[in-house]
Structure 1
Amino acid sequence: MRRFAMTAAALAMTASGFIALTPGVAHAWPSKCTAEERIYSDVEGGIARCTAGTGRFRAMAYCTSDPRRGYGSYYYGDWRRPGMAWSAVQCPSSQRYIVAAGYDLANW
């Protein structure tokens, strides 16, 4: 019985050491990101760009039909990879005023 207990303890220590020493999966994110509101005569929206990292990013805009009240919805641009490409989103005609612009990140 004592031999079994020692073997079980040694096995448990080996297994826990293996788990502790196994490297985790690396997840990278886009970085060095910026977002801007864009307001033209008849269209409002936002743009975003990330210049470093990996993964994906997209522009995000919070748009409203009444800027005084501020209630609205989020709208999103296309997913892009970091680099030179911009992601853009336009407020729809039903909520044509932009309240804020930002970006959304993903690590896939």
Structure 2
Amino acid sequence: MKKIQCLKDFKKVECILSNHFVEYLKSEFYGLYDYLNNGDKLESFSLPNYQNMVILEEDEEINIILNSTLNIEFVEEVELTQLVIYRIGINIDEDVQLYFAIKDKCNLNV
């Protein structure tokens, strides 16, 4: 499991995820920045802990989230150029935390 809280966190995932997936995650981050920043500069903006973007990497992580969470707000299938991912919203503290997983990693019928 990897978490993205600020722009610097993308360095951790750029070498292990496809460019298409990283670009998609960055667009999600920029959207959250536009919505949540209070005049912060992009370089210093940090998501609150309960709104970190979470990348699920292992089957077990994905299954735990999907099978044991009663607060699933939505599950969307997103088609990127070379892969399909799930975008999962979990209701936490009256906000939605975003989780992402590569479709091949889980057995989910959306």
Which TM class, normalised by the smaller chain length?
under 0.3
Which structure is larger by alpha-carbon Rg, 1 or 2?
1
Given the two structures, how large is their TM-score scaled by the length of structure 2?
A: 0.27
Greater per-residue helix proportion: 2
Given the two structures, how large is their TM-score scaled by the length of structure 1?
A: 0.28
Greater per-residue strand proportion: 1
